Amino acid sequence: MPTPSPVDLIISKRDGGSLSPEDITALIDAYTDGSVPDYQLSAFLMASFLQGFNEEETAALTRAMLHSGTVLDLKHIDGIKVDKHSTGGVGDKVSLILAPVVAACGVPVPMISGRGLGHTGGTLDKLESIPNFRTDLSIATYEQQLKELGIVMIGQTAEIAPADRKLYALRDVTGTVEFIPFIAASIMSKKLAEGIDALVLDVKSGAGAFMKSEDQARTLAETLVSIGEQFGKDTVALMTRMDEPLGRAVGNWPEMHESIACLKNETEGLEDLMEVTLALAGEMLYLGGVAENPAEGKQQAADSIASGAAFDTFVAMVGAQGGDTSVLQMPESRPDTDPVATVEATAEASGYVEAINAYDIGMTAVRMGAGRRVKEDKVDPTAGLVLHKKVGEKAEAGEPLATLYTRKNNVATFQKAILNSYQFSSSPSQRPPMLLGRYTAAGWDE
């Protein structure tokens, strides 16, 4: 039987049909090698977005994207290799703290991360705010460093899931980003290609997340875990809240500075950030076989910070990847990090902080130079802001709400935007819990 043409597959999906794994693989392979043009794949993406994918199609898409390039084999490296992925948020610098914490406890962490796009930041941009830090290591160097240090953090190479790189760019310009099967296949194809044995997922829900509702986040968590289990990887998802920025810093160097403080056990006022980080660490150490359960893993993670082992591991990784380790010891020594302005509470905008719109904060940080509105934009590694008041805290008129770091000229516009991101009330509101649920192949554990 002849292989269906791209037009046949587009029509089948347009009319509500289900495609076989072989058809999906053939289409993705042809698009990756250039045989199928963007305009045909665009039609396929939209037809799929409108008609939906079933579980088999989602797994087939993941497999096709995974095998479009190199799938790493890390069996020669001792230990259970565990990674973490976040679905993105504002102020989400968890990976910068989490990876060295877990590695310091004896679980190898091979982490291939992405860059910021839209209102969310990217781990690579944050790492590259350390002067001279390299994220473009070869696969051979990636494997060697993981073997020697137990930790490596790089960007996606040309060999890893090239179909995902092409498809992501096309989804971004065809209005098909917010489709859970596409999101899941994109995430899991890259993570499965890393050579990991297990994966922990941080699925965000709220105003600053891509999944705005808890129902959407639950569906995504279930889809991601299902794919991981189908591919033989132990997979756990934590659903976490993303309504206000995580921690207090937003931007690349501001978030790196805050992460360094956390690794040095300077965590006052950063309880939300550490709650999420330690919960994810507990899961990773449990899957990595060094803890009897996630609670024990969480305690091990906290101990690695208190002892200094996690910070030492981070310094070793930064040094191995060419970064200037002196700014880790003395973050204030990094050049071009002087603040340019503050945002103060006013008589009309003061009282107890009831809410901070994470999306608005994230977009303001992007306009200040901390992120990209299109993929070609260059980021200012030192741009961003630090919040001095968060939900439940009181702000008197004249007190600082935020400190701004930018080289842009329209500072007054940024100040107004940050002030407008705050909502106040006359009485304190209790901050809701950060952890909304835990999902494994056995189901939800609220």
Instruction: Kindly state the tokens that stand for 330.
Output: 């003395």
How far is the CA of 299 from the CAs of 6, 100, 102, 283, in angstroms?
53, 15, 11, 11
The residue type at 252: N
Name the DSSP class of 195.
Answer: T
How far is the CA of 377 from the CAs of 369, 372, 391, in angstroms?
9, 5, 32
How far is the CA of 360 from the CAs of 54, 276, 388, in angstroms?
34, 22, 17
Report the 3 state secondary structure along 66-126. Answer: HCCCCCCCCCCCCCCCEEEEECCCCCCCHHHHHHHHHHHCCCCEEEEECCCECCECCHHHH
Q: Could you tell me which residues are beta bridge partners of residue 234?
A: 198
Could you give the residue numbers annotated as active site?
A: 85, 164, 171, 186, 190
Number of H helices and number of E strands within the chain?
17, 14
Q: Are 249 and 255 in contact (CB under 8 A)?
A: yes
Name the DSSP class of 133.
Answer: -
**Cα–Cα distance, 279 to 434 (Å, whole number):** 10
In degrees, rounded to 5, the angle at the alpha carbon of residue 71 between the alpha carbons of residues 66 and 75 is 140
**Cα–Cα distance, 111 to 190 (Å, whole number):** 10
How far is the CA of 60 from the CAs of 28, 49, 56, 63, 185, in angstroms?
10, 16, 6, 5, 9
How far is the CA of 23 from the CAs of 33, 45, 55, 233, in angstroms?
16, 14, 15, 25
Q: How many CB atoms lie within 10 A of CB 317?
A: 23
